[in-house]
């Protein structure tokens, strides 16, 4: 049976009608995440309806108009991805995803979606892959961004759900925009490295009520990646978990508000399957209600992996700034809670 590894513990494989009991148990766990945004879980409330849901996709696969796949983590179904529409005649298809809590934070959905998009473009010759999501579904929008999609527009009051009509955002990626279709092009690699850096920097933004999602950092880094703050007397070296967790807290508990960081200059060198980028950046925000501005430099290393280009390490140093020093954004006395 077809199985695609997503990481050391997770696998992607077809989700079929005979999986209905396992699928129903998983959907029961996933309802708190799924029900607020899409009617997916309402289709599967008992064994009969769960079987019918999977049978609909089995019928679509038989007619080449849709497919569904499950994500298993250590032999437990924790989420999935699907082609909700697949029209080979027009060359347009739509993908979607869902997950329960146990499937979050590992980049599994993004990797699974990339596998479907790769297959659609390289094996089936599709021209356009779409992503439809309810406006306000920040997690879904974040996945679309991670996949390098473009927001095409909003279908106002398009879909009824839970007694009211919702606006639907339409995102898409075209075959010529997909990295695998442009493999080997230095310009295409530069575009992809630009995207990875934009995702990393953008993950920390919490301006205008935006809730930052630092888990996207796992999608742009290799799992063994290292992030290094070299702003004090000696370097502080983080793995992904120790870097993400305290910063997610600072950016959501009121410590850092209206915070953003942006790259203002960069120099990138690419050699085969490795690359290096030297960046200058600016940042600003409120730290405990006090405005600050700062700047600094980053050095970032990239590797080409079987899943595409990823960051392997990043180190940064701030330009000394009286304002930044006053608020302690970098030089806090608590290394585990250092800001960026």
- Condensed to tens digits (0 to 9), the pLDDT of residues 5-33 reads 887 788 999 999 999 999 999 999 999 88
Quote the pLDDT of residue 324. 41
Please identify, among 134, 154, 182, the residue that sits at the C-terminal boundary of a domain: 182
Of the chain, the percentage scoring pLDDT greater than 70 comes to 91
Quick one: 30 and 148 in the same domain? yes
- Condensed to tens digits (0 to 9), the pLDDT of residues 53-99 reads 999 999 999 999 999 999 999 899 999 999 999 999 999 999 999 99
Neighbours of 253 (CB within 10 A): 9
Please identify, among 163, 182, 201, the residue that sits at the C-terminal boundary of a domain: 182
Place 180 in a pLDDT band, splitting at 50, 70 and 90: low
- Count of domains in the chain? 2
Quote the pLDDT of residue 300. 97
Quick one: 21 and 118 in the same domain? yes
Q: Which of 247, 269, 254, 138 has the alpha carbon at shortest distance from 201?
A: 247
Quick one: 137 and 229 in the same domain? no
- Condensed to tens digits (0 to 9), the pLDDT of residues 261-314 reads 988 888 999 888 899 999 999 999 999 999 999 999 999 999 988 778 999 999
The DSSP line for 79-102 is EEEEEEEEETTTTEEEEEEEE-GG
On whether the CB atoms of residues 283 and 318 are closer than 8 A, the answer is no
Model confidence at 191: pLDDT above 80: no
Domain span at residue 97 reads 4-182
Quick one: 14 and 128 in the same domain? yes
Average pLDDT, rounded, for the chain: 86
pTM above 0.85, yes or no: no
Q: What is the dihedral of CA 101, 105, 110, 113, to 10 degrees?
A: -30
Spatial CB neighbours of 161, under 8 Å, sequence gap ≥ 6 = 37, 38, 39, 134
């Amino acid at each position: 049976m077809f199985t695609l590894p997503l990481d050391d513990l997770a696998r992607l494989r077809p989700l079929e009608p005979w999986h209905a009991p396992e699928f129903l148990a998983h959907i029961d766990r996933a309802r708190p995440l799924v029900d607020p945004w899409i009617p997916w879980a309402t289709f599967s409330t008992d064994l009969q309806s769960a079987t019918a849901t999977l049978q609909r996709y089995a019928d679509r696969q038989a007619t080449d108009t849709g497919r569904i796949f499950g994500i298993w983590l250590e032999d437990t179904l924790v989420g999935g991805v699907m082609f909700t529409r697949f029209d080979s005649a027009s060359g347009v298809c739509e993908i979607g995803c869902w997950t329960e809590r146990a499937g979050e934070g590992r980049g599994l959905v993004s990797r699974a979606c990339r596998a479907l998009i790769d297959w659609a473009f390289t094996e089936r010759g599709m021209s356009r892959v779409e992503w439809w999501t309810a406006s306000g579904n920040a997690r879904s929008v974040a996945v679309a961004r991670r996949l390098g999609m473009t927001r095409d527009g909003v279908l106002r009051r398009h879909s009824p759900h839970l007694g009211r009509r919702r606006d639907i955002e339409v995102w898409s990626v075209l075959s010529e925009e997909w990295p695998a279709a442009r493999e080997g092009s230095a310009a295409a690699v530069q575009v992809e490295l630009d995207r990875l850096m934009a995702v990393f920097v953008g993950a920390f933004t919490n301006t205008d009520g935006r809730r930052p999602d630092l888990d996207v950092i796992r999608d742009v880094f290799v799992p063994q990646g290292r992030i290094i703050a070299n702003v004090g007397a000696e370097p502080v070296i983080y793995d992904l978990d120790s870097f993400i967790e305290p910063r997610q807290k600072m950016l959501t508990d009121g410590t850092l508000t209206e915070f953003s960081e942006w790259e203002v200059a960069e120099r990138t060198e690419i050699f085969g399957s490795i690359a290096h980028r030297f960046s200058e950046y600016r940042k600003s925000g409120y730290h405990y209600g006090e405005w600050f501005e700062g700047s600094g430099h980053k050095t970032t290393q990239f590797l080409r992996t079987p899943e595409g280009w990823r960051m392997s390490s990043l180190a940064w140093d701030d330009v000394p700034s009286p304002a930044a020093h006053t608020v302690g954004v970098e030089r806090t006395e608590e290394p585990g809670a250092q800001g960026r």
